Amino acid sequence: MNIVLLGAPGAGKGTQASLLEESFHLVHISTGDIFRANIKEGTPIGKIAKSYIDAGKLVPDEVTCDIVKDRLSKEDVKGGFMLDGFPRNTFQAEQLDRFAHIDLCVNIDVDLSLLMDRICGRRVCSCGESYHVSTLNGATTCKKCGKELYRRDDDNPETVQKRLDTYFKETAPLVEYYANAGKLFTVTSGKQPPKAVYDKIAKELVRRGRSKK
């Protein structure tokens, strides 16, 4: 089963992908994580991506689509994958339909008023885990691997506002794109904790025939 995880910045795409990866045989592919790894390593892709990410804009389609196409050609995704943060506009969705088959789009719908606090309170680990300060009880290290947690460069109020503007203008139309394709499953998270949101998504995956690990 191949899944697209859709949702505004801070909706919980990464959080849900991490939970789903643990319980289902699905490879988690986050374009944001790929770009951040490239920025850290100082690669040519990282140099291009940084200016766009810092400005809360989308990295150009040709760069992004090539990365995803290449990643999906690898052997490990053959048993199923989850795309987190791709596609992000109609052009990317159309390109994706040319090089991969998507079974389901899980749209995580969260009230706009919750997003700013969620993102600005997020702390991340280089292993991929993400937390919110409200649940860390003062801890500054990752519960999974013990490394020091940090705040993403684009998790400041000014850039978050730009990311939200970009989301509503360019990415939100994909809800209709996948609804028209008969592939949309929307989960309204509201103030429900991650595990409750996960349970709803997991139930839908099982209903569609995906077995747990």
Q: Give catalytic residues, as residue numbers.
A: 13, 88, 122, 152, 163
Q: Which residues pair with 188 in a beta bridge?
A: 109
Work out whether 32 is an interface residue with ligand AP5 (CB under 6 A): yes
Member of 24, 38, 102, 118 binding ligand AP5 (CB under 6 A): 118
Tokens of 78: 């053959």
Could you tell which of Mg ion, ligand AP5, none binds residue 80, using a CB distance below 5 to 8 A set by kind? none
Give the pairing of strands 122-124 and 130-132.
antiparallel
Tokens of 103: 């079974």
Member of 1, 3, 6, 15 binding ligand AP5 (CB under 6 A): 15
Helix (H) or strand (E) holding 46: helix 44-54
Helix (H) or strand (E) holding 107: strand 104-109
What minimum distance in Å lies between the beta carbon of 77 and ligand AP5?
16
Between 196 and 209, CB nearer to ligand AP5: 196
Member of 29, 45, 50, 86 binding ligand AP5 (CB under 6 A): 86
Work out whether 58 is an interface residue with ligand AP5 (CB under 6 A): yes
Residues 6+ apart with CB under 8 A from 139: 149
Residues 6+ apart with CB under 8 A from 173: 89, 90
What minimum distance in Å lies between the beta carbon of 173 and ligand AP5?
14
Residue type, 8: A
Interface positions, 8-67, toward Mg ion (CB under 5 A): 14
| Cis ω for the linkage preceding 44 (within 30 of 0) | no
Residues at the interface with Mg ion (CB under 5 A)? 14
Residues at the interface with ligand AP5 (CB under 6 A)? 7, 9-15, 30-32, 35, 52-53, 56-59, 64, 85-86, 88, 92, 118-119, 121-122, 130-132, 163, 189, 192-194, 197
